[in-house]
Structure 1
Amino acid sequence: MVKTVRLEPIAQDSAIETMGNLLSVLLNKDLDVLKECGGHGRCATCHIYVKDGMASLTPIARREQRTLEVITSCKPNSRLACQARVIGSGVVVELPPGMYVNSIKDIEALIGRRAEQDLLHPLTGQVLVEAGKLITRSMLKKIEDTTPFNPSNYFSNSSSV
Protein backbone atom coordinates (compact mmCIF):
# COMPACT_ATOMS: atom_id res chain seq x y z
CA MET A 1 0.00 0.00 0.00
CA VAL A 2 1.27 3.46 -0.89
CA LYS A 3 1.65 6.21 1.75
CA THR A 4 2.44 9.89 1.34
CA VAL A 5 5.29 11.70 3.07
CA ARG A 6 5.46 15.50 3.13
CA LEU A 7 8.89 17.13 2.90
CA GLU A 8 9.40 20.51 4.52
CA PRO A 9 10.43 23.24 3.98
CA ILE A 10 10.19 22.45 0.25
CA ALA A 11 6.46 21.68 0.64
CA GLN A 12 6.49 18.58 -1.57
CA ASP A 13 4.61 15.32 -1.14
CA SER A 14 6.20 12.03 -2.11
CA ALA A 15 4.68 8.57 -2.42
CA ILE A 16 6.31 5.66 -0.61
CA GLU A 17 5.42 2.00 -0.21
CA THR A 18 4.50 0.76 3.26
CA MET A 19 7.73 -0.22 5.07
CA GLY A 20 9.80 1.90 2.68
CA ASN A 21 12.46 3.97 4.45
CA LEU A 22 12.46 7.75 4.44
CA LEU A 23 15.93 7.84 2.86
CA SER A 24 14.41 6.62 -0.42
CA VAL A 25 12.03 9.59 -0.36
CA LEU A 26 14.91 12.04 0.09
CA LEU A 27 16.97 10.42 -2.67
CA ASN A 28 13.99 10.35 -5.05
CA LYS A 29 13.64 14.11 -4.60
CA ASP A 30 17.33 14.63 -5.43
CA LEU A 31 17.99 16.16 -2.03
CA ASP A 32 21.59 16.52 -0.88
CA VAL A 33 21.85 13.42 1.32
CA LEU A 34 25.28 11.80 1.48
CA LYS A 35 24.37 8.47 3.14
CA GLU A 36 28.02 8.30 4.19
CA CYS A 37 27.61 4.96 6.02
CA GLY A 38 25.63 3.37 3.18
CA GLY A 39 22.29 3.51 4.99
CA HIS A 40 23.33 1.46 8.02
CA GLY A 41 22.39 4.02 10.68
CA ARG A 42 25.96 4.89 11.68
CA CYS A 43 26.28 8.50 10.48
CA ALA A 44 24.23 11.68 10.58
CA THR A 45 24.06 12.43 6.87
CA CYS A 46 20.41 11.38 6.62
CA HIS A 47 19.37 12.97 9.94
CA ILE A 48 15.87 14.45 9.73
CA TYR A 49 13.27 15.94 12.05
CA VAL A 50 9.81 14.36 12.10
CA LYS A 51 7.42 17.31 12.36
CA ASP A 52 4.32 15.09 12.39
CA GLY A 53 3.50 11.40 12.24
CA MET A 54 6.19 9.88 14.48
CA ALA A 55 3.69 7.12 15.38
CA SER A 56 3.45 6.30 11.64
CA LEU A 57 7.12 5.24 11.60
CA THR A 58 8.79 2.10 12.89
CA PRO A 59 10.20 2.49 16.42
CA ILE A 60 13.79 3.60 16.97
CA ALA A 61 16.11 0.59 17.20
CA ARG A 62 19.20 0.47 19.38
CA ARG A 63 21.69 1.22 16.57
CA GLU A 64 19.74 4.30 15.51
CA GLN A 65 19.47 5.46 19.13
CA ARG A 66 23.25 5.15 19.59
CA THR A 67 23.86 7.24 16.48
CA LEU A 68 21.31 9.85 17.51
CA GLU A 69 23.11 10.20 20.86
CA VAL A 70 26.22 11.62 19.14
CA ILE A 71 24.38 14.04 16.84
CA THR A 72 24.76 17.50 18.33
CA SER A 73 21.71 18.85 16.51
CA CYS A 74 19.53 15.97 17.78
CA LYS A 75 16.07 16.79 19.11
CA PRO A 76 13.31 14.55 20.53
CA ASN A 77 11.78 14.36 17.04
CA SER A 78 15.07 13.35 15.34
CA ARG A 79 15.31 10.21 13.22
CA LEU A 80 17.74 8.74 10.72
CA ALA A 81 15.95 8.55 7.37
CA CYS A 82 17.70 5.27 6.52
CA GLN A 83 16.28 3.59 9.63
CA ALA A 84 12.78 5.11 9.77
CA ARG A 85 10.27 3.00 7.83
CA VAL A 86 6.79 4.27 7.03
CA ILE A 87 3.98 2.14 8.46
CA GLY A 88 1.16 4.71 8.52
CA SER A 89 -0.04 8.01 7.11
CA GLY A 90 0.57 11.65 7.93
CA VAL A 91 4.37 11.72 8.07
CA VAL A 92 5.90 15.19 7.68
CA VAL A 93 9.70 15.46 7.76
CA GLU A 94 12.16 18.33 7.66
CA LEU A 95 15.87 18.28 6.88
CA PRO A 96 18.19 20.05 9.34
CA PRO A 97 19.42 23.33 7.88
CA GLY A 98 22.96 23.18 6.53
CA MET A 99 25.16 21.07 4.31
CA TYR A 100 27.08 18.01 5.46
CA VAL A 101 30.79 18.09 4.59
CA ASN A 102 31.77 14.94 2.72
CA SER A 103 35.49 15.61 2.44
CA ILE A 104 38.12 18.30 2.88
CA LYS A 105 38.34 18.67 -0.90
CA ASP A 106 34.68 19.71 -0.97
CA ILE A 107 35.50 22.93 0.83
CA GLU A 108 39.14 23.66 -0.07
CA ALA A 109 37.95 25.66 -3.07
CA LEU A 110 35.72 27.72 -0.76
CA ILE A 111 38.55 29.16 1.37
CA GLY A 112 38.20 32.93 1.41
CA ARG A 113 34.45 32.81 0.74
CA ARG A 114 31.56 33.04 3.15
CA ALA A 115 29.61 29.86 3.84
CA GLU A 116 26.19 30.11 2.18
CA GLN A 117 24.77 27.74 4.80
CA ASP A 118 26.06 25.97 7.89
CA LEU A 119 28.68 23.34 7.06
CA LEU A 120 27.99 20.27 9.19
CA HIS A 121 30.10 17.31 10.34
CA PRO A 122 28.65 14.17 8.69
CA LEU A 123 28.70 12.03 11.83
CA THR A 124 27.81 14.38 14.65
CA GLY A 125 25.92 17.14 12.83
CA GLN A 126 28.18 19.65 14.61
CA VAL A 127 28.35 23.02 12.86
CA LEU A 128 31.90 23.29 11.54
CA VAL A 129 31.42 26.66 9.80
CA GLU A 130 28.37 28.84 10.44
CA ALA A 131 26.40 30.35 7.56
CA GLY A 132 27.75 33.78 6.69
CA LYS A 133 31.17 33.11 8.27
CA LEU A 134 34.36 33.26 6.29
CA ILE A 135 35.92 29.89 5.48
CA THR A 136 39.58 30.24 6.44
CA ARG A 137 42.59 27.96 6.50
CA SER A 138 42.21 27.71 10.28
CA MET A 139 38.62 26.50 9.75
CA LEU A 140 40.02 23.93 7.33
CA LYS A 141 42.40 22.73 10.08
CA LYS A 142 39.44 22.34 12.46
CA ILE A 143 37.66 20.25 9.86
CA GLU A 144 40.79 18.19 9.12
CA ASP A 145 40.99 17.35 12.83
CA THR A 146 37.60 15.64 12.54
CA THR A 147 38.57 13.42 9.61
CA PRO A 148 38.69 10.72 8.51
CA PHE A 149 34.94 10.42 8.93
CA ASN A 150 35.04 6.94 10.38
CA PRO A 151 31.94 5.93 12.33
CA SER A 152 33.89 3.34 14.33
CA ASN A 153 35.90 6.18 15.89
CA TYR A 154 32.71 7.50 17.42
CA PHE A 155 31.28 4.19 18.53
CA SER A 156 34.43 2.46 19.77
CA ASN A 157 33.35 2.92 23.39
CA SER A 158 29.80 1.69 22.74
CA SER A 159 28.68 -1.83 23.34
CA SER A 160 27.93 -3.78 20.19
CA VAL A 161 24.56 -3.18 18.63
Structure 2
Amino acid sequence: MSRIVIQNLGNFTIDSENSERKVIELIHESGIDWMHACGKKGRCTTCKMVILKGQESLTEETDREIFYKNQSRLKPNERLACQCSLKSGELIIRVADINKFPHLTYTE
Protein backbone atom coordinates (compact mmCIF):
# COMPACT_ATOMS: atom_id res chain seq x y z
CA MET A 1 0.00 0.00 0.00
CA SER A 2 1.25 3.45 -0.91
CA ARG A 3 0.08 6.87 0.19
CA ILE A 4 0.63 10.39 -1.11
CA VAL A 5 -0.21 13.34 1.12
CA ILE A 6 -0.29 16.77 -0.53
CA GLN A 7 0.34 19.01 2.45
CA ASN A 8 -0.58 22.39 0.99
CA LEU A 9 -3.82 21.07 -0.50
CA GLY A 10 -5.34 20.51 2.92
CA ASN A 11 -3.36 17.29 3.47
CA PHE A 12 -5.23 15.69 0.57
CA THR A 13 -4.48 11.97 0.77
CA ILE A 14 -4.24 9.46 -2.07
CA ASP A 15 -4.04 5.76 -1.23
CA SER A 16 -2.91 3.32 -3.90
CA GLU A 17 -2.41 -0.40 -3.99
CA ASN A 18 -0.69 -0.25 -7.38
CA SER A 19 3.05 0.10 -7.02
CA GLU A 20 5.35 1.58 -9.63
CA ARG A 21 2.80 4.15 -10.83
CA LYS A 22 3.89 7.63 -11.86
CA VAL A 23 3.11 10.11 -9.11
CA ILE A 24 1.40 12.51 -11.51
CA GLU A 25 -0.94 9.75 -12.72
CA LEU A 26 -1.98 8.92 -9.17
CA ILE A 27 -2.62 12.60 -8.47
CA HIS A 28 -4.65 13.15 -11.65
CA GLU A 29 -6.68 9.98 -11.16
CA SER A 30 -7.69 11.26 -7.73
CA GLY A 31 -9.20 14.38 -9.33
CA ILE A 32 -6.48 16.89 -8.41
CA ASP A 33 -5.18 19.31 -11.05
CA TRP A 34 -1.39 19.18 -11.22
CA MET A 35 0.52 21.27 -13.72
CA HIS A 36 2.32 19.54 -16.61
CA ALA A 37 3.05 21.92 -19.48
CA CYS A 38 4.98 19.42 -21.60
CA GLY A 39 2.38 16.66 -21.49
CA LYS A 40 4.18 14.56 -18.86
CA LYS A 41 7.27 14.00 -21.00
CA GLY A 42 9.98 15.38 -18.67
CA ARG A 43 10.73 18.32 -20.95
CA CYS A 44 9.99 21.05 -18.39
CA THR A 45 9.77 21.37 -14.63
CA THR A 46 6.17 22.49 -14.23
CA CYS A 47 5.15 19.23 -12.52
CA LYS A 48 7.85 19.43 -9.87
CA MET A 49 6.86 18.54 -6.34
CA VAL A 50 8.60 19.51 -3.14
CA ILE A 51 9.25 16.40 -1.06
CA LEU A 52 8.89 16.78 2.69
CA LYS A 53 9.07 13.08 3.56
CA GLY A 54 9.38 9.78 1.73
CA GLN A 55 12.07 10.38 -0.90
CA GLU A 56 13.04 6.72 -0.42
CA SER A 57 9.53 5.67 -1.53
CA LEU A 58 10.27 6.87 -5.07
CA THR A 59 12.11 5.25 -7.95
CA GLU A 60 15.61 6.44 -8.82
CA GLU A 61 16.09 9.79 -10.52
CA THR A 62 15.74 9.72 -14.28
CA ASP A 63 18.18 11.24 -16.75
CA ARG A 64 15.79 14.18 -17.22
CA GLU A 65 15.69 14.89 -13.47
CA ILE A 66 19.47 14.73 -13.25
CA PHE A 67 19.69 17.10 -16.24
CA TYR A 68 17.48 19.67 -14.46
CA LYS A 69 19.33 19.26 -11.17
CA ASN A 70 22.60 19.95 -12.97
CA GLN A 71 21.02 23.16 -14.31
CA SER A 72 19.84 24.08 -10.79
CA ARG A 73 16.22 23.91 -11.93
CA LEU A 74 15.48 21.16 -9.39
CA LYS A 75 16.62 21.24 -5.77
CA PRO A 76 17.70 18.09 -3.91
CA ASN A 77 14.23 17.80 -2.31
CA GLU A 78 12.34 18.26 -5.59
CA ARG A 79 11.34 15.65 -8.16
CA LEU A 80 9.33 15.67 -11.37
CA ALA A 81 5.95 14.05 -10.72
CA CYS A 82 5.86 12.82 -14.33
CA GLN A 83 9.21 11.06 -14.06
CA CYS A 84 9.15 9.24 -10.74
CA SER A 85 7.00 6.37 -9.60
CA LEU A 86 5.83 5.56 -6.11
CA LYS A 87 7.18 2.18 -5.00
CA SER A 88 5.61 1.84 -1.57
CA GLY A 89 5.30 3.74 1.67
CA GLU A 90 4.19 7.28 2.39
CA LEU A 91 5.16 10.33 0.36
CA ILE A 92 4.44 13.79 1.79
CA ILE A 93 4.74 16.57 -0.78
CA ARG A 94 3.83 20.19 -1.50
CA VAL A 95 2.94 21.94 -4.73
CA ALA A 96 5.86 24.22 -5.56
CA ASP A 97 4.88 27.89 -5.21
CA ILE A 98 5.80 28.64 -8.82
CA ASN A 99 3.52 25.84 -10.08
CA LYS A 100 0.34 26.66 -8.17
CA PHE A 101 -2.89 27.00 -10.14
CA PRO A 102 -4.97 30.15 -9.54
CA HIS A 103 -8.24 28.17 -9.40
CA LEU A 104 -7.17 25.94 -6.48
CA THR A 105 -7.17 26.92 -2.84
CA TYR A 106 -3.88 26.09 -1.15
CA THR A 107 -3.24 25.75 2.56
CA GLU A 108 0.00 26.49 4.32
Size of the aligned set, in residue pairs, is: 100
- 1:70 deviates by 4.1
- 1:47 deviates by 0.6
Q: Which structure: larger Rg? A: 1
What's the TM-score, normalizing by structure 2? Answer: 0.77
Q: 1:68 to 1:42 in 2, by over 3 A?
A: farther
- 1:32 deviates by 3.5
State how far apart, in whole Å, the 1-side matches of 2:66 and 2:54 are: 18
Q: Which has the higher strand share?
A: 2
- 1:38 deviates by 1.7
* Larger relative contact order, structure 1 or 2 (CA cutoff 8 Å, min sep 6): 2
- 1:8 deviates by 1.1
Cα RMSD of the aligned pairs, angstroms, is 2.3
Structure 1 portions without partners, runs of 5+: 102-115, 117-161
Letter in 2 for 1:83: Q
- 1:99 deviates by 4.2
Identity across aligned pairs (percent)? 22
State how far apart, in whole Å, the 1-side matches of 2:28 and 2:37 are: 13
What's the TM-score, normalizing by structure 1? Answer: 0.54
Q: How does 1:81-96 map to 2 (within 5 A)?
A: 81-96=81-96
Q: Which runs of 4+ in 1 moved over 6 A?
A: none
Structure 2 portions without partners, runs of 5+: 103-108
